[in-house]
Chain A
Amino acid sequence: MTNDTVQQDPATGRRKFLTTAGVVAAGMLATGMLTPAPALAVTPALKFSNIPGTGDIKVVNFALALEDLEADLYVQALQRLTTGGTNKLGKKITGLNLSPNQPDVAYVKEFGVVERQHRDLLRATLGSAAITQFKYDFNMQNLTRKQVVDLIYTAERTGVGAYLGAIPFFQTRTYLQLAGSIQGTEARHTAVIAAVLNRLFREGLEVAPLASDNSGIDRPIQPDVVLAAISPFIVV
């Protein structure tokens, strides 16, 4: 499987997740079981112009939006892979009870801590200018082990491109090195998760772009494209 094939999967997956979530919510509504309130993805998708702040602050808030999602994704993913839990929407996630020694479990746990630190660091950097914390529905309770790790991979990979795509929107270089220092860790996470997926599921992912792919250089993703990709997971 090539990277390009995988790149297309998440879009399909996301649409499916949304549909499933909608059906489930409707079913619960019909039977009067609906607690808490219906979870609906933000529509229309967020755009960079919706991100609060101007100049550098806006860009850092964009980064915070990503890190906020990643941090919560890792929490829910670890719940799903291990002993289960409840997400911030009150949805119960049944655990797959995998051993903590499994490579996906170990790295999801380790990287989850890092993403939480990124989120908290950016929030502290922005202070009162920080974007509000969102809640996320990844349909986690219905994902297989492979789907969970695939989703983590997609999120990290999107993070790498998102930071690159955001750089030209900075007004100054004040946060350039900080952004780079986070982006590099997202790149490391992407490579390791790809290697884990190859090991567990023989996905045949490249850990880094080949020379034949954009001269072996990571590609930027425009902020609006990133926000369109993550909006289906954001619940309002």
Chain B
Amino acid sequence: MDALEKITGGTSSRRSFMTALAAVGVGAVVASPLLAGNGLTPPPPATSGGAATGVPTDGATQFAAIPGRNINEKVLNFALTLEILEADLYRQALNLASGRPLTTALNSNPSSYKRTVGGGGLNATLTDVGYKYLRDFAYVEAAHRDVLTNAIKSGGGVPVVRNPNGYKFGGPVSPNIASILGGILPLEETGVRAYLGALPYITDLPLAQTAASIFSTEARHSAAINYTLGIDPGPYKKSGDLTVIPNQPSDNTLEYFLKPKTVLSVAGAFFK
């Protein structure tokens, strides 16, 4: 059961989203004959709700499963859904790397955590750096969660709450820094794509500024983890990724995005 089903109680499947994505979304961003050979294509004027650029018009569909009295509140709750997940998995990751039971709550004192696991192939410096990231980012994601919760409350809305069954890593994670970072990385990279996908739905520009301010920290986290693991810091194209312009010059020119429904589907892998 994926996140969307948990929220909607519906029967939508991840497979159907990915199929739809392959048929429509991805197809829409391959090179257009009008732009062939250019290599540098400005985004077309935003006259429709196209997947690739400009101002989308499918907000009602994309955020149908997310509570909120208007689109801006829905975007906030969408972001909060992800931040709750991220904060919880970082808490678990930090516990795993520190020899504590996974269920232990985040301690109010960051310096109370000490690494008890090895690097898993990382050198001594990167092992220490990787552990620092786990610890620091755990508090950052918890702070993002709290900021969004308070923003929704202060606007008179009702924030989404934690999944009662909790969260799990998307695959097997071993007790070493490389493996734990590898388990966290998909969350961060999905977070980047989620924020960028949700950004153009926000009708209030100051709110868009806030969302972008969180978005870029997720990009920083992703790059830092990639760097620590010795892989391309990104952005790099993953399966299902959408591009903002039709044919960007290189893989790492611009960040990729996912539509909100796709994100909820992908996030389902982390829901218990």
Are A188 and B235 interface neighbours, CB within 8 A?
yes
Q: Mark A182-203, 1 if CB is under 8 A from B, else 0.
A: 1111111111101100110000
User: Contacts A124-B42, A191-B233, A218-B217; is A181 near B223 (CB within 8 Å)?
Assistant: no
Q: Mark A112-129, 1 if CB is under 8 A from B, else 0.
A: 011001101100111100
A26 proximal to B (CB < 8 A): no
B113 proximal to A (CB < 8 A): no
Are B140 and A192 interface neighbours, CB within 8 A?
no
Are B254 and A181 interface neighbours, CB within 8 A?
yes
Are A168 and B216 interface neighbours, CB within 8 A?
no
A184 to B206, CA, bound (A): 18
Q: Mark A206-236, 1 if CB is under 8 A from B, else 0.
A: 1111111001111110000000000000000
B220 proximal to A (CB < 8 A): yes
**A-chain residues with CB within 8 Å of residue B256 when the two chains form the complex:** 181
User: Contacts A163-B212, A164-B213, A184-B235; is A192 near B223 (CB within 8 Å)?
Assistant: yes
User: Contacts A173-B55, A208-B137; is A188 near B223 (CB within 8 Å)?
Assistant: yes
Nearest CB in chain B: distance from A180 CB, A: 5
A85 to B160, CA, bound (A): 56
A174 proximal to B (CB < 8 A): yes
Contact partner of B139 (CB less than 8 A), chosen from A126, A127, A175, A216, is A216
**B-chain residues with CB within 8 Å of residue A207 when the two chains form the complex:** 133, 220-221, 223-224
A176 proximal to B (CB < 8 A): yes
**A-chain residues with CB within 8 Å of residue B28 when the two chains form the complex:** none
B92 proximal to A (CB < 8 A): no
Are B42 and A216 interface neighbours, CB within 8 A?
no
User: Contacts A170-B205, A180-B212; is A211 near B244 (CB within 8 Å)?
Assistant: no
Closest to B125 in A: A199
A114 to B146, CA, bound (A): 34
- Which residues of B come within 8 Å of A, CB atoms? 40-43, 45-46, 53-55, 125, 129, 133, 136-137, 139-144, 146-147, 192, 195-196, 199-200, 202-203, 205-206, 208-210, 212-217, 219-224, 227-228, 233-235, 244-245, 248-250, 252-257
Are A208 and B217 interface neighbours, CB within 8 A?
yes
A209 to B224, CA, bound (A): 12
A189 to B223, CA, bound (A): 8
User: Contacts A121-B40, A170-B205, A181-B196; is A190 near B220 (CB within 8 Å)?
Assistant: yes
Nearest CB in chain A: distance from B40 CB, A: 5
Nearest CB in chain A: distance from B260 CB, A: 13
A93 proximal to B (CB < 8 A): no
Are B253 and A117 interface neighbours, CB within 8 A?
yes
A46 proximal to B (CB < 8 A): no
**B-chain residues with CB within 8 Å of residue A160 when the two chains form the complex:** 216
**B-chain residues with CB within 8 Å of residue A188 when the two chains form the complex:** 219-220, 222-223, 233-235
A2 proximal to B (CB < 8 A): no
Are B40 and A209 interface neighbours, CB within 8 A?
no
**B-chain residues with CB within 8 Å of residue A173 when the two chains form the complex:** 46, 54-55, 200, 202-203, 205, 208
Contact partner of B245 (CB less than 8 A), chosen from A126, A127, A178, is A178
Closest to B42 in A: A125
Are B220 and A211 interface neighbours, CB within 8 A?
no
**How many cross-chain pairs have Cβ atoms below 8 Å apart between A and B?**
189
Are B255 and A178 interface neighbours, CB within 8 A?
no
Are B147 and A217 interface neighbours, CB within 8 A?
yes
In the complex, 30 of the A-B residue pairs with CB atoms within 8 angstroms, ordered by the A residue number, are: A110-B252, A114-B253, A121-B40, A126-B42, A127-B42, A160-B216, A168-B206, A174-B45, A177-B53, A177-B199, A177-B257, A181-B196, A181-B254, A184-B255, A185-B219, A185-B252, A187-B223, A188-B235, A189-B223, A195-B129, A199-B125, A207-B221, A207-B223, A208-B220, A208-B221, A209-B140, A209-B217, A210-B140, A217-B147, A217-B214
Closest to B55 in A: A173
**B-chain residues with CB within 8 Å of residue A125 when the two chains form the complex:** 42-43
Contact partner of B253 (CB less than 8 A), chosen from A174, A180, A185, is A185
A142 to B21, CA, bound (A): 52
A172 proximal to B (CB < 8 A): yes
Are B216 and A164 interface neighbours, CB within 8 A?
yes
Are B144 and A215 interface neighbours, CB within 8 A?
yes
A167 proximal to B (CB < 8 A): yes
Beyond A186-B216, A198-B129, A215-B147, 8 extra complex contacts between A and B, CB < 8 Å: A117-B253, A121-B248, A177-B54, A184-B219, A195-B129, A195-B227, A216-B144, A217-B214
**B-chain residues with CB within 8 Å of residue A198 when the two chains form the complex:** 129
A226 to B3, CA, bound (A): 41
